[in-house]
Structure 1
Amino acid sequence: MLATTVLLVAAIVCPVACAVDTPLYERQPFDLVIVRDEGKSTPLEVLPLKDRTPGAARSGDLYARLLDAPGEEIAIPGPSVERVELYEEQLLSKAKEFAAKSDFNSAYPYFAKLERDYPDYPGLTEAFTKAIYDEARALFAAKEYDHALALLGSLKERSSRTPGLENAVDTIGDAILKARWEAEDYLGVRRTVDAIEGQFAGMRLSLGERWLGRMSEGAALERAKAQRLAAAGKGREALRIVSGAVALDPTSQKTRQLLAELSSAGGTLWVGVWETAAPDATPDLDSPAAVRQSRLIGGRLATLESFQPSGGEYVSTAGVLDTDDARRQLSIRFADSAMAYRLARLLLEPAGAAREPLALLRERTAAVSVEGDNRLLVDLKSPHPQPMALAAAPLNASQRDIAPGEWRRVSLPAGSEAAARYERVSGAGAFGAVEEYVYSDIDEAFADLRARQIHALMGVPPWRVAEVEALPTIELAELRLPTLHCLLLHPSSSLRERREVRRAIRYGIASQETLNKIVLGEAQRNGFEVLSNAVPRGKSLGDPLRYAYNESIEPRPYEPRLAALLLAAARAADAEAAEAGLTIRAVPTSLTIAHPPTPVARAAVAAIRDQLAAVGLEIELREASEEELSSGGLGYDLRYAEITMGEPLTDVWRLYGPGGVSGGCSPAMRDALDKVVGATDVKAAVNALRDLHRVVYADLPLIPLWQTVEYAAYQSNLAGVAAEPIDLYQTIDDWRITDGGAR
């Protein structure tokens, strides 16, 4: 009778094969009872039995509850029970099976389940250890040394007494170190030795002692090679070699001294950049390379030195800059009286387009006079909240001698790999020359930075900042002014006449996602914000620089369906106009976006291209230099611009005013701008700026994207670099090489 019951039950129970699609470790725990009847073996899945002893001898009937019918207990005659496989026994069997086939990825989930729920199961530790060992051997054979060593690290955490572990670590560690030594990655050699000794502390390894001796000898050989190269006039190559020597033996005073000597040899500072400015470039909002250059050779009547809660602080190389208590008169006491008269004549000329040099200062000037031959007095039309900010006006190349810099740009020596060279003509400092080297590849720039081929790298991509922060011989400076990213329209683009198309483009760009995933690389950093207007949002809620931004106006969201609908409606309107015989500038089916050769611009425009293609706008990308982009002669519809504003109160005129950087100024915008530039106190200026924000948001003369923070990386033995400079070269007179080099 019982046998009949067993057969009936076996007939209706779903066999193990029914659950083949679900891995065993994900299923509800069950034991297998294999029953034999009439020469056939049938597995029964039952709820876990009370007796969990592996291989326990069982006598008498076995009482169990079927997994699929747990409500009723059944009795299985003892003679019909062929064997019992506990759930944990099945898991271990599966894990061993996969490991034996070298399918370690499939085996590890079973081991993990066992360690979590059945950590004391007999044979688990030995089987798991063997699997890890076997995979490490396989990886070593495949020359995946780093992965193999990582596995040995996990094995050590399980048990440092694992037989053969010390020899395995020595063998794999040797292979890693040999590969890095042959690749001349000496910093990698040093860091690997330190990492292995730290990770496998307490073990008797021979690797550390052997390689430390080799590194000391290698450092001496590299030091001698660097000295020979330096004597042959190959300073940068010598510096790369001695940098490797420092990495090999950072405690050597001789090596550090040689590093300091070579780093400042000839008094030349080597700087990595993504592009250089043209020699005659005018520093404007959308010309970051020209702005950087102007700190050296001049190009501004006054420069911003810091930004405080009370506003910007300015100095001028032209002379002593001052203002009266009524904030209605600006004065400059020139060292050269001829320059006072020259600037006076320039200020009496018509204001011209908003982006022209001195345009806003001319527009706000009521009268000009020269007192005592060298003191220029500029009477303003009305009190100004920040008169000195008016003096922070760009100068073109022909006007540069009014407020000259302490450096001049010179021709490059024959055979030089530099893109630009500047030499000091006045002032004092440890460096007498600056050479800028242009990089197009991020990894190459980073490699040269690590090898000390350059002292500093301007414009570290935000998604690589964490990597730089982890380098022991590199420091980071965070520029004070955020960068504003936007799309500017070509002066003759048909988009200027089609606001609905501009809105479609803005709705078709996933700004927040692009900023988070592409620009930041999923990192969280202050100062990175999506914008509804191209003015600074500040780097924090307490940043006084955010005074011009209207937080009540949210950035347009990513709405691809709305973007597609707006484009479709615009094209339908074009078709109707064409049928009526009207001459129109039709909505384009494709656009060209020009962009500078910076890492952020390259990554961003690639994402924008794909996003706009999804809403019906094909995009062609065109990379161009800063000079080509600002000239207006390059063919494009939109251009990706990276803008820096030092004082929004005055810079909005250069951006949005008639003939400004944005290129368009509607009557409503002109009215709002007039209120900004005519404001007589801070409160009125702030209110006017926030009203301007509303008009700009509605008119959309440019397409605002996001704000980022600029980073500069530099060698830690380069002292004097400010932690938060206005621009890279602000404190260059204080820069000097020390004999340090590691944090």
Structure 2
Amino acid sequence: MNMPNLTLMESPSHSLSKPLQGFFNGTRSTLRRIHGILIERSWLLISGMLALMALSNPCVAQSLDQVLEEIGVTGSVLDAPPFDVIVVTAEHGGKSVQVNLLDLPDRKVPSSPKPAEKLRCVLNLFPGRLYEIQWKDISKIILWEELVLDRAKKLLANKDYAEAFEHLVYLRDNYPQSSNVQTLHQEFLFSSARDMASSGDLPHTLAALEELQRRFPNFRTEDVQTAISSVAAKLIDDLFARNELGVARSMILRLDKEYPGKLPMVAKAKSRFQELAETYRKSATEFRQAGDYGRARQAAVRMLEIEPELEGGKEFLNELIKEFPLVRVGVFQRASKPDTAALADWPAFRLGQLTSTPVFSFRNTGPEGGIYQFSYGNAVHSDDRMQLDLTLQNVDSSTVPDSLFLSQALLQRANIGHPLYVPGWASIFESVSVLGPERLRIRLRQPHVLPQAMMQWQLPKQGEQSFVRTIYQLKSEEDNRKRFEWIGESDAADFQPREIQEVYYEDPNQAINDLLKGELEFIDRLFPADARRLGGYRYIKTEPYALPMVHMLVPRGKGPFFEDREFRRALLYAINRSAILSDEILGGKPSPVDRLISGPFPAGASETDALAYAYNLSVEEPPYDPRTATVLVMLSQANQTSRAAKRKEPAPKLPVIRLGVPNFEAARVAGQAILQAWKIIGVDGKLVVYDELPRLEDDSIDILYMSAALWEPVTDAERLFGVGGPAETNNQYIVQALGKLNAARNWREVREGCQDLHALVAAHLPVLPLWQVSETFAYRTEIQGVAKRPIGLYQDVQKWRIQVR
């Protein structure tokens, strides 16, 4: 049997070319010195093996799979570097040789090359050597792209669509000129769509059919469009059944734009939307006639969601809004009572802003402490900080007390035997003088920088007379909805809300969906990741509140371990506060305000932030150190065992900590992460979710997760740690520091007192500081007049207007 003649080409530095005769026979007579080096023995062995294979195998036509098997390529061809295959003639054994990609014009094999001409190639066995072979010795050339295409066909036949698609994409991106790629792509899309439809995977079926129509518009156009129409109709039916009408409408609009007049289902779906929108308009009209404007508004919004271009639809909604402007607020925590000075009760503060009138209200931070507004007139604090002059305005109004009644209320809160007694107020109050029906003067025992902060309480009724100056009051409460009606002294202006409804949600996602659909106008408090997501909608605005909330853990358990400072420190060191804040709560996107803290007071957004006057920067943040935490737990156990032995009592066991968290998503997420951290150091626990802040005597929790509005540390410190405070303590060092702070006469002494207290809290841990977090609310853009960076949601609620579109 004759062997093909392959000639080894020398490198450019050599001019001589030498034929390498009998490439496949493996005899020593074929050897030549190449570049002065004798061909290695391994090549002799390979050559001999190939010669024996050529002699022993008859020359038969091979499939591509057999060719790949012959050259030793298994698995997916895409896993191997690209190569071509030269099949020599039957005369020379019909063997297949794997070579590097051939340099062919346009990657086309010549149809009738001259037999004497030679093809240059590089064998994969010898990547550094260039050979020539005469065309007369070549039976067939199999190109790399043909191998990939053949494998794609087989994968498609076996319905392995994922692998087939990978091969098709490769060919499309790298060999678009390859024959039959387009035809196979058409077959792939049609076959995969057919099979996905059979399995009920309608969304992917539609995607495959539309891809087929886009790429190959002339391929069975009528059949493909009929299939698109049929599948889309089934999808629309499913969306209607799930009440996802907004998604269904978007789909119809898209299909109508891309296939104008070509899909029969589009006209039917449009008619269906029209009929459903008319049904909602009828319902809205009936609710309107019955005076149920809330349900009428819901039906009208739904009507326009279904069919925005419904004839007369927008005018109907505008008339409804003007006739009875209504705002609905989604909330996640119910309020039991209003309290604008609530320290750790978010819903009470929210409700207080809407329905109560404190004597003084906190408006914002100033260069030295907070800015407070006297609700009934003007207030002047004397230069020596020893007295406060109050001037009442419009005392003839039923909502404004006279000076005598106000003075009695001030005395009551300084009387230790009165139910309304306030210890902090009593400690600074000396006397009150009535200077006339509209004026009174308060004398203090000692100078105080902010006595106004001690008077954020609401006046009691005088008989039937209430001194609430708000413009809304509670009208009714049913199921998960509270209604607040307009009670302003004059009629509400056009498009000013006559009613505000608070709608309680357990599921934040449902609240967000309702906001997007127009069934809510506000959500009062958002999980940070949700706030970022909603910020991407053009008709939704997100607004941060002005001041951050301080998050901390308050030990309340009565057992010996909770009284042990080292055990409390172990619990703090075990918590990876940075990871929980960044990953679990903020989703990796903190703002300058969101940060870890080392004490009970807010750190503000920077060192120069006026809010940060109480924060002690010299106190280091508690580390995350689970090893030390484990050691501290063991040390605490040893101490408790030793003390019990001295009392001849059984050693106490580690408690299963009941961690109480407010019913809000961010707190629940953080609570679960904290329990997992404690479990690592051998302390078990369980989560207890509360709707209202537990009282001190409540023994259902051992540690309280608290989110606190400590925006005026000079007075809030006493409200936090003092008698009746949520973190009440009898630690003598903390009590002495509170006394020193209460005696502060100027802002220098206030800052020193607060920062000393900060350091003592970090040392004794009556609370375990976690982090401060900014809060955000969201609202629809049709609501105008919403305050920028307000203290609370209902700040300046009297400016709200519903913009008609």
1:177 aligns to 2:236 (yes or no): yes
Q: Answer yes or no: is the 8 Å Cα contact 1:160–1:203 preserved in 2.
A: no
Paired residue for 1:94? 151
Matched, 1:713 2:734: no
Match of 1:644 in 2: 709
Q: Which residue of 2 aligns with 1:192?
A: 251
Separation in structure 2 between the aligned mates of residue 253 and residue 539 of structure 1, nearest angstrom: 51
For 1:563, the aligned partner's letter is: A
Residue type of the partner of 1:190? R
The residue that corresponds to 1:598 in the other structure is: 664
Counterpart of 1:286 in structure 2 is 344
1:226: which partner in 2? 284
Residue type of the alignment partner of 1:535: F
Quick one: structure 1 residues 426 and 163, their matched pair in 2 at CA, closer, same or farther if it must change by over 3 Å? same
Aligned to 1:377: 441
Q: Is 1:614 paired with 2:680? A: yes
Which residue number corresponds to residue 698 of structure 1? Answer: 763
| Cα distance change, pair 282–711 in 1 and its aligned pair in 2 (3 A) | closer
Among 551, 566, 574, which residue is 1:500 paired with?
566
Q: Deviations over 1:526-570 (max 9, x none)?
A: 643333334334357875434444456554344333333332333
Check whether the contact 1:240–1:451 (CA below 8 A) recurs between aligned residues.
no
Q: Which amino acid aligns with 1:599?
A: E
CA distance, structure 1, for counterparts of residue 255 and residue 325 of structure 2: 39
Judge conservation of contact 1:180–1:188 (CA < 8 Å) in 2: yes
Instruction: Give the counterpart of 2:510 among 431, 439, 444.
Output: 444
Alignment of structure 1 residues 10-409 onto 2, 5 Å: 24-32=77-85, 45-51=98-104, 53=107, 64-67=121-124, 69-72=126-129, 83-150=140-207, 164=221, 170-196=229-255, 200=258, 211-212=269-270, 215-232=273-290, 234-252=292-310, 254-262=312-320, 269-279=327-337, 283-298=341-356, 300-308=358-366, 311-334=369-392, 335-350=401-416, 358-392=422-456, 404-406=468-470
Q: 1:660 to 1:204 in 2, by over 3 A?
A: same
Q: Is the 8 A contact 1:421 1:433 kept in 2?
A: yes
**Distance verdict in 2 for CA 1:544–1:399, change over 3 Å:** farther
- In structure 1, what is the equivalent of residue 18 of structure 2? none
Segment of structure 1 superposing worse, 535-544 or 694-703: 535-544
Give the Å deviation of 1:489. Answer: 1.6
| Alpha carbons 1:33, 1:85 under 8 Å: kept | yes
- 1:530 pairs with one of 596, 613, 632: 596
Question: Is 1:2 aligned with 2:48?
Answer: no
1:218/1:681 CA distance change after superposition, 3 Å: same
Q: How many equivalent pairs are there?
A: 733
Q: Which runs of 5+ in 1 are unaligned?
A: none
Deviations 1:402-424 (A, max 9, x none): 963536865746xx334544445
Which residue number corresponds to residue 38 of structure 2?
none
Distance 1:660 1:315 in 2: 25
Q: Are the structure 2 counterparts of residues 536 and 17 from structure 1 closer, same or farther at C-alpha, using a change threshold of 3 Å?
A: farther
1:292 Cα shift? Answer: 1.2
In terms of mean alpha carbon deviation, does 161-170 or 38-47 score higher? 38-47
* Counterpart-to-counterpart distance in 1, 2:509 and 2:605: 28
After alignment, is 554-563 or 154-163 more displaced? 154-163
- Contact 1:357 1:394 (C-alpha < 8 Å) held by counterparts: no
Deviation at 1:202, TM superposition (A): 9.1
**Segment drifting more, 650-659 vs 636-645:** 650-659
Give the CA deviation at 1:595.
Answer: 1.8
Q: Distance in 1 between matches of 2:612 and 2:79?
A: 53
Structure 2 SS opposite 1:639: strand
- Distance in 2 (CA, whole Å) between partners of 1:501 and 1:591 is 12
The 1:400–1:693 alpha-carbon spacing in structure 2 relative to 1, beyond 3 Å, is farther
The verdict on how the C-alpha distance between 1:498 and 1:431 changes in structure 2, with shifts beyond 3 A counting, is same
Q: Which residue of 2 aligns with 1:568?
A: 634
The structure that has the greater radius of gyration is 2
Distance in 2 between the 1:466 and 1:357 partners?
44
3-state secondary structure, aligned to 1:2: coil
2:660 partner amino acid: A
Conservation of the 8 A alpha-carbon contact between 1:340 and 1:374? no
Residue 488 of structure 1 corresponds to: 554
Question: Residues 146, 722 of structure 1: CA spacing in aligned structure 2 closer, same or farther, 3 A cutoff?
Answer: farther
- State the secondary structure of the residue aligned to 1:70: coil
Task: Show the counterpart of 2:794.
Answer: 729
Show CA shifts across 1:248-289 (max 9, x none): 333457323433455576666443222222247785211111
Distance apart, 1:229 and its partner CA: 3.4
Deviation at 1:626, TM superposition (A): 0.8
More displaced stretch, 89-98 vs 32-41: 32-41
Q: Report the Cα distance in structure 2 between the residues aligned to 1:400 and 1:439, rounded to whole angstroms.
A: 35
TM-score normalised to structure 1 length: 0.83
Which amino acid is the alignment partner of residue 273 of structure 1?
V
Amino acid across the alignment from 2:162: N
Please give the alpha-carbon distance, in whole angstroms, between the structure 2 residues aligned to 1:580 and 1:40. 99
Following superposition, the deviation at residue 521 of structure 1 comes to 3.9
1:400-419 maps to which residues of 2 (within 5 A)?
404-406=468-470, 412=476, 416-419=478-481
TM-score, structure 2 length as denominator?
Answer: 0.77
Contact 2:539 2:780 in 1 (8 A): yes
Q: Larger relative contact order (C-alpha < 8 A, sep ≥ 6)?
A: 1
* Aligned twin of 2:718: 653
- The one-letter code of the counterpart of 2:406 is A
Kept after mapping to 2: 8 A contact 1:529/1:707: yes
SS of 1:459's partner is coil
Q: Is the contact between residue 412 and residue 421 of structure 2 (CA under 8 Å) also seen in structure 1?
A: no
How far residue 346 of structure 1 moved from its aligned partner, in angstroms, is 2.8
Distance 1:580 1:634, change over 3 A: closer
**Aligned partners of 2:459, 2:578: CA distance in 1, in Å?**
36
Rounded Cα–Cα distance in structure 1 between residues aligned with 2:559 and 2:128? 77
Instruction: Tell me the amino acid that sits aligned with residue 503 of structure 1.
Output: R
1:412 and 1:420 in contact (8 A); partners too = yes
Q: Could you say what secondary structure the match of 1:179 adopts?
A: helix
Displacement of 1:227 after TM fit? 0.9
- RMSD after superposition: 4.4
Once the two structures are TM-superposed, the CA of residue 702 in structure 1 deviates from its matched residue by 1.8
2:340/2:456 contact within 8 Å kept: no
Task: Measure how far apart 1:585 and its partner are.
Answer: 8.0
State the alpha-carbon separation in 2 of the partners of residues 692 and 381 from structure 1: 23
Identity %: 24
Question: Displacement of 1:586 after TM fit?
Answer: 4.2
**Contact 1:533–1:704 at 8 Å: present in 2 too?**
yes
Which deviates further from its counterpart, 683-692 or 643-652? Answer: 683-692
1:580-634 alpha-carbon deviations (Å, 9 max, x no partner): 556698462421112222222222222322332233222211222215x245414
Report deviation, 1:294: 1.4
Match of 2:312, SS state, is helix
Output one character per residue of 1:187-231: Cα deviation in whole Å (capped at 9) or x when no partner: 333333445567x49997677666556544543332122212333
Q: Shift of residue 133 of structure 1?
A: 4.6
Asked if structure 1 preserves the Cα contact closer than 8 Å seen for 2:553 and 2:770, the reply is yes
User: In the aligned structure 2, how far is the partner of 1:250 from the partner of 1:481?
Assistant: 39
- Helix, strand or coil at the partner of 2:389: strand
